[in-house]
Amino acid sequence: MEEEKFLENYFERYRGTIFVREVWTQLIELKNLISFTQSTGAKTIIAGNGGSAAIASHCSMDLTKNAGMRSVNFNESTLITCLANDFGYERWLEKALEQYGTDGDLVILISSSGRSTNMIKAADFANSNGFSLVTFTGFERDNPLHSRGKLNFWVNSFAYNIVEMTHQIWLLAVCDLIIGQAEYPAVSE
């Protein structure tokens, strides 16, 4: 019974994060921003640390393969370790944007706490260099990353898994919104 109560409370937390109706307008705006970016010949760059990097990779791949949108992420270990070694971990993402980004690209940064120095430096670089910026954060609403984007998504939770899974659901909902359906084959013939 105790475990069932835990799960009941746990899944109720998701109801309070994922199904925030006010977010729907922002999700539609993000869909339009990704589509506009694609129409200009630019690309969508998605990045995060740890679990957020996995979310970035998943979403980037779905945008490219399933939605037909040009998207990349920076989860290549040699890229991260080379740039972190040469410029410091705090600047590796900023340097990756400098080397791989082009004017007009859309940058989506995912950080549960919104306090990761490398994300903040990358956001400031994006804003100073002709990129559109979207942020996904959680924890405290007034975290440093939350106010830096054109669109700023925030999950009202201090639980890492709740924040990260909500980010993933929201981002993949945008992929499916671009596609126009939730059910489709993994491979089209």
Give tens-digit pLDDT for 74-96: 999 999 999 999 999 999 999 99
Q: Has residue 185 been placed in a domain?
A: no
Q: Has residue 186 been placed in a domain?
A: no
Give the span between the Cα atoms of 69 and 30, in whole angstroms.
Answer: 13
Give the CATH number, domain containing residue 175.
3.40.50.10490
Total number of domains in the chain: 1
The answer to whether the CB of 108 falls within 8 A of the CB of 42 is: no
Q: Has residue 142 been placed in a domain?
A: yes
Helix H or strand E encompassing 132: strand 132-137
Buried b (16+ CB within 10 A) or exposed e, 133-149: bbbbbbbeeebbbbebb
Q: Has residue 187 been placed in a domain?
A: no
Tens of pLDDT, residue by residue over 7-47, are 999 999 998 898 888 899 999 999 999 999 999 999 999 99
Q: Has residue 78 been placed in a domain?
A: yes
Domain enclosing residue 19, as ranges: 2-179
Q: pTM for this structure?
A: 0.95
CB within 8 A of 174, min separation 6: which ones? 27, 30, 31, 34
Q: Has residue 170 been placed in a domain?
A: yes
